[in-house]
Amino acid sequence: MKQFLGFCAMAMLIVGCGWFQPVEVTEIVGFNNLRMTSGILQGSLQLRVYNPNPYALHAISSEVDVFIDGELSGHCTLAEPVRIPGDASSDVVLDIISEEKALGSLLKSGLKGLLGGASVVKARGVVTGKQWWIMSEIPLEYTDTLRLQ
């Protein structure tokens, strides 16, 4: 029982003293391997995440939406759980899969590409991480231009 109370006191000390600092996306490497097959856009989005805390964070899930020219076109899911060491950066890869109903916006993007234009692709949402029992959300917003070939 004394060990449990000691653990609780230590946890309150860590949280109460402000030792926890927000984890942040320091760099968005960009979209990789974007391709359209059978009307579905697939690829990945690579992020570099910095954990300023002295203990590791485990990225466990993501809720990121992908928009093409302002229309919701798909979602990003965490490719695999990633351990981000304390006071270090790690790369996190999100898999992109478009929705079937997004075929219209994808076709418009393809038509723009044939005419020499580009589409604006935006990813917005959060990646959820866990440090011990504390859940942490890492906000994400990224915009890029896409030229389908």
pLDDT of 19-55, one tens digit each?
Answer: 668 888 888 787 788 777 776 778 888 888 898 888 8
Q: Is the pLDDT of residue 136 over 50?
A: yes
Architecture per CATH, 21-146: Sandwich (2.60)
How far is it between the farthest Cα atoms of the chain? Answer: 71
pLDDT of 62-118, one tens digit each?
Answer: 999 988 778 888 898 998 999 999 999 999 999 988 776 655 555 555 555 555 567
Model pLDDT, residue 97: 82
The domains of the chain are located at 21-146
Residue type, 47: L
